[in-house]
Chain A
């Protein structure tokens, strides 16, 4: 298998080399290893594969990050993607997860001056959360019956199991607002910094996004992280201290009902023993 392995190693080295760079072993190697066609030289034939390789991966990233493409502009986005492809060749037979490291690439690896670095990383994180939620398994949502089967005296210690198709994100920019404007076709310049939070989840085939206040995020993160109900709901208190206790409790109860009915949770469990 010596010749086959050698031919394949050379071919992959050649076509994965960035198009702005020289071929690592030069055109002579292509002319020696490949035959001319009726109308094209060996090098021209090799370039068909080389161009297709880079174009395919850039198109894959454009599919997964359409709002980032809009925010950066097509040329800057494609340049970013070509840097990404050079740094992160695909190592899976599937392209489903190819863009997984785009948020961290934007934040930490993208070369050169990158004025939108922080916003781009956050927007990429939102778009990747959508991809993850699409590919996460759906499970039947927690039923009202199951909730009602928790003995009242053990309610405080119960813990919830979040659906796999749920992501809670915290940003330094109004990322979800920008993304919605993009979907509406009226996204302008990337926004100034302002803290925001969003939960991304899937209900049936549809992916939803819901803005969260700081209090909502604190409670939801605690519930999704497996904290007991009483402790998790208490996390709202530090954000709702302007309200009296009754108003705060009513508000948290309303959030909780909405999250349960939206399918954020699939199960409720007790530390020692099952629910009835």
Chain B
């Protein structure tokens, strides 16, 4: 292409800024979002703050026909929404819960969620739900089980499912691989997306004694569609993924590295001792500084 045409359209900046990678699912980079929390409903619906998008906890809007859905409808009318669940139990040895999937799909269609995510975990067995993100044994048997189930869920939803690496506090004996290999192979073999939580990488690295940068080095970033950051609680012997408080600098650095390699929307989770909307939003906007830098040694201020 010659002449003025080269200067028109998005390509005009070619050479001035590095091209952004593209995720293989074509899902958009929505910018920096916030987790939708009940304590912020009133502010959001009255002030209409300038937020790129909201992530909603799917399970809070399922098994209800009332007020939570009314709030969610009002938010979804004005903002892009992504759904994030904790109840799919994709790794359980129980059969897939078809009623849960049907309700999940109906909610997705109702609010026009851009995509649906859950966790690389299981939450219960024999019909009992622990409502926790329990660790999987990283074995070939578990991997094959999850590949089949992720494919089935994606067929049911008619869309890619994004799975998030969880924070874990225990590991099963007899593992055949580390978590990053399990996640990467699952994403490849089931053809699913990844929600990479860099705080969870940091927490699990401390709890299990691995290098978080080694984890990131093995993530297939063309499958990463979303990034999470959050605060955590350090207990000395271990770290709990509490989603309390501001994000620590080392996690921001991991975010910068991950964002440089992925075309992914970024989201701050803050789930306990939640401050005002403005303070929460300001913490989320800190992400932009690290998204621009994206180096391991990025200056932290």
- 1/0 per residue B109-127: CB within 8 Å of A? 0000000000000111111
- Contact status B64-A32, CB under 8 Å: no
User: Within the assembled complex, what's the spacing in Å between the Cα atoms of A91 and B59?
Assistant: 14
Whether A93 pairs with B123 at a CB distance below 8 angstroms is yes
Q: Check B132 against A38 for contact (C-beta < 8 Å).
A: no
Q: CA separation between A96 and B65, bound complex, in Å?
A: 11
Q: Is the CB of B70 within 8 A of A138?
A: yes
Beta-carbon contact of B173 and A33 below 8 Å: yes
Residues in A7-43 with C-beta less than 8 Å from chain B: 7-9, 11-12, 15-16, 32-35, 37-40, 42
Chain B residues whose C-beta falls within 8 Å of the C-beta of A9 in the assembled complex: 93, 125-126
Q: Which chain B residues border A89 with CB–CB below 8 Å? A: 128-129
Asked if A48 and B170 sit within 8 Å, CB to CB, the answer is: yes
A130 to B282, CA, bound (A): 35
Which residues of A lie under 8 Å from residue B97 when comparing CB positions?
Answer: 93
Query: A165–B153 Cα gap in the complex (Å)?
Result: 34
Q: For the complex, what is the distance from the CA of A178 to the CA of B270, rounded to whole Å?
A: 34
CB distance from B14 to the nearest CB of A (A): 47
CA–CA, A48 and B145, complex, Å:
26
Known: A53-B132, A135-B65, A136-B66. A94 touches B59 (CB 8 A): yes
Decide: A93 and B100 in contact? CB cutoff 8 A.
Answer: yes
Judged by a CB distance under 8 angstroms, whether A254 is at the interface is: no
Inter-chain contact B145/A45, CB cutoff 8 Å: no
Q: Is A202 an interface residue (CB 8 A)?
A: yes
Residue A5 at the chain B interface, CB threshold 8 Å: yes
State the total of A-B contacts with C-beta under 8 angstroms: 145
Q: Are B169 and A45 in contact (CB under 8 A)?
A: yes
**Minimum Cβ distance to chain A for residue B11 (Å):** 46
- Chain A 92-125, CB-CB to B under 8 Å as 1, else 0, gives 1111110000000000000000000000000000
Evaluate contact between A35 and B173: CB separation under 8 angstroms.
yes
Cβ of B169: which chain A residues have Cβ within 8 Å of it?
Answer: 45, 48-49
Report chain B residues within 8 Å CB of A12: 124-126, 128, 130
Closest to B42 in A: A205
Give B196 Cβ to nearest chain A Cβ, in Å. 22
Q: Is B68 an interface residue (CB 8 A)?
A: yes
Identify the stretch in B1-9, B136-144, B211-219, B289-297 within 8 Å (CB) of chain A at 4 or more residues. Answer: B136-144
- B237 and A4 contacting across the interface, CB-CB below 8 Å: no
A2 CB, nearest partner CB in chain B, Å: 8
Tell me which of A90, A134, A135 contacts B129 (CB under 8 A).
A90
Q: Is the CB–CB distance between A93 and B89 below 8 Å?
A: yes
Q: Is A192's beta carbon under 8 Å from chain B?
A: no
**A52 proximal to B (CB < 8 A):** yes
Chain A: minimal CB distance from B76 (Å): 16
**Contact assessment for A91 and B128 in the assembled complex, using a CB-CB cutoff below 8 Å:** yes
Contact A38 B87 (CB under 8 A): no
In the bound complex, what is the Cα–Cα distance between A40 and B208 (angstroms)? 10
CA distance A1 to B100 in the complex (A): 22
- CB neighbours (8 Å) of A136 from chain B are 65-66
Q: Is the CB of A94 within 8 A of B128?
A: no
- Which residue of chain A is the closest to B127 with respect to CB atoms? A91
**Across the interface, which residues of A come within 8 angstroms of B18, CB to CB?**
none
Residue pair B145, A34 in contact (C-beta under 8 Å): no
Q: Check: A241 CB closer than 8 A to any chain B CB.
A: no
Question: When the two chains form their complex, are residues A37 and B172 in contact, meaning their CB atoms are under 8 A apart?
Answer: no
Give chain B residues whose Cβ lies under 8 Å from the Cβ of A5: 93, 125
Closest to B122 in A: A8
* A49 and B209 in contact, given A1-B145, A12-B125 (Cβ under 8 angstroms): no
Per the 8 Å Cβ criterion, residues 200-218 of A in contact with B are 202, 205
A46 sits at the interface (CB 8 A): yes
Tell me how far the C-beta of A138 lies from the nearest C-beta in chain B, rounded to whole angstroms.
7
CB of A67 within 8 Å of the partner chain: no
Q: Is the CB of B131 within 8 A of A37?
A: no
A252 in contact (CB, < 8 A): no
Contact B66 A134 (CB under 8 A): yes
Given A52-B132, A92-B129, the answer on whether A7 and B172 have CB atoms closer than 8 Å is: yes
Q: Is B71 an interface residue (CB 8 A)?
A: yes
CA of A205 to CA of B175 in the docked complex: distance in angstroms?
49
- Interface flag for B92 (CB, 8 Å): yes
CA distance A3 to B130 in the complex (A): 20
Counting from the closest, the 6 A-B pairs by CB-CB distance are A93-B87, A94-B63, A45-B170, A5-B93, A137-B65, A38-B209
20 A-B contact pairs sorted by A residue (CB < 8 Å): A1-B145, A3-B137, A4-B137, A8-B134, A9-B126, A12-B128, A32-B173, A33-B172, A35-B172, A37-B207, A44-B237, A45-B169, A56-B132, A90-B124, A92-B63, A94-B64, A95-B59, A133-B66, A135-B65, A205-B71
Contacts from A to B (Cβ < 8 Å): 1-5, 7-9, 11-12, 15-16, 32-35, 37-40, 42, 44-46, 48-49, 52-53, 56-57, 60, 89-97, 133-138, 164-165, 202, 205
